């Protein structure tokens, strides 16, 4: 297969598997999405989705959030991990949204990245999922799969994002990054990986990945 054929196969397979793409984190507006994505760092979406209703029942907008203390926020979100840093970030960014953005979440990446505890990936998720602006957030699933498929050298997420944006059409970035996330969880996980179920990697995966997989399988 040529690189173009591999890209076309990947896109068509993902579209067939995921014609409708659910957003992994429960939210109702850009603010609740921003908070949920911030909380998901080094945690799972399932865990975050269990905790955000508890937090949003008390504060689902920046004006109510700043009425809570950092410690109160921390106690609520403690199960998701890294709660001291995340609580400070949530409280701090809520103040900034009120002071600088009239209580609204900005659409611009540069303004989002200025907020406490909001990095490039979090900002990219918000602009793509809340505002429909083309972005290609790279999480561990996307980083792992694009390396397995031979679309990136896998050195870091910054390079992976650049490679993804270069290879895939801009108009499908927002859908594609979610499709890859779901595919990674269901068919190509980091642990318990079964190549027979992972049709994309089995068909187009880089040779070193395939060889390592079968060597390890024989060793078991």
Place of tokens 């108009």: 171
pLDDT at 220 (0 to 100)? 62
pLDDT at 141 (0 to 100)? 86
Burial class (CB in 10 A: 0-12, 13-18, 19+), 132: exposed
183-217 b/e with 16+ CB inside 10 Å = b?
Answer: bbeebbeeeebebeebebbeebbbeebeeebeeee
Helices (H) and strands (E) in the chain, counts: 13, 0
Clarify whether 170 is annotated catalytic: no
Candidate list 139, 162, 194, 217, residue with the active-site label? 139
Clarify whether 194 is annotated catalytic: no
Dihedral pair phi/psi, residue 142, rounded to 5°: -65, -40
pLDDT per position as a tens digit, 4-57: 999 999 999 999 999 999 889 999 999 999 999 999 999 999 999 999 999 999
Candidate list 6, 86, 121, 163, residue with the active-site label? 121
Asked whether the predicted pLDDT for residue 154 surpasses 90, the reply is no
Residue 48: in which H helix or E strand, if any? helix 45-58
pLDDT per position as a tens digit, 191-218: 899 999 999 999 999 999 999 888 887 7
Of 175, 142, 147, 140, which is closest to residue 42 (Cα–Cα)?
140
Q: How many CA atoms lie within 13 A of 160 on its CB side?
A: 21
Domains annotated for the chain, with CATH where assigned, are 3-20+137-219 (1.10.1670.10), 30-131 (1.10.340.30)
Of 5, 2, 21, which is closest to residue 173 (Cα–Cα)?
21
CA–CA distance from 143 to each of 107, 181, 205 (Å)? 25, 10, 14
CB 54 within 8 A of CB 79: no
């Amino acid at each position: 297969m040529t690189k173009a054929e591999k890209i076309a196969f990947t896109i068509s397979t993902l579209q067939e598997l995921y014609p409708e793409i659910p957003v992994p984190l429960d939210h109702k507006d850009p603010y609740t999405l921003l908070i949920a994505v911030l909380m998901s760092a080094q945690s799972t979406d399932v865990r975050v989705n269990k905790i955000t209703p508890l937090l949003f029942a008390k504060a689902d907008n920046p004006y109510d959030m700043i009425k809570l203390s950092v410690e109160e926020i921390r106690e609520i979100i403690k199960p998701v991990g890294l709660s001291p840093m995340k609580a400070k970030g949530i409280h701090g960014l809520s103040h900034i949204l009120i002071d600088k953005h009239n209580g609204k979440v900005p659409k611009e990446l540069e303004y989002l990245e200025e907020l406490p505890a909001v990095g490039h990936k979090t900002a990219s998720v918000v602009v793509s999922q809340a505002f429909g602006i083309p972005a290609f957030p790279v999480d561990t699933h996307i980083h792992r799969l694009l390396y397995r498929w031979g679309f990136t050298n896998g050195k870091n997420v910054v390079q992976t994002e650049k490679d993804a944006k270069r290879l895939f059409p801009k108009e499908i970035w927002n859908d594609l990054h979610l499709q890859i996330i779901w595919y990674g969880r269901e068919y190509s996980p980091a642990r318990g990986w079964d190549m027979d179920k992972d049709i994309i990697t089995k068909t187009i995966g880089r040779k070193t990945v395939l060889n390592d997989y079968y060597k390890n399988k024989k060793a078991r």
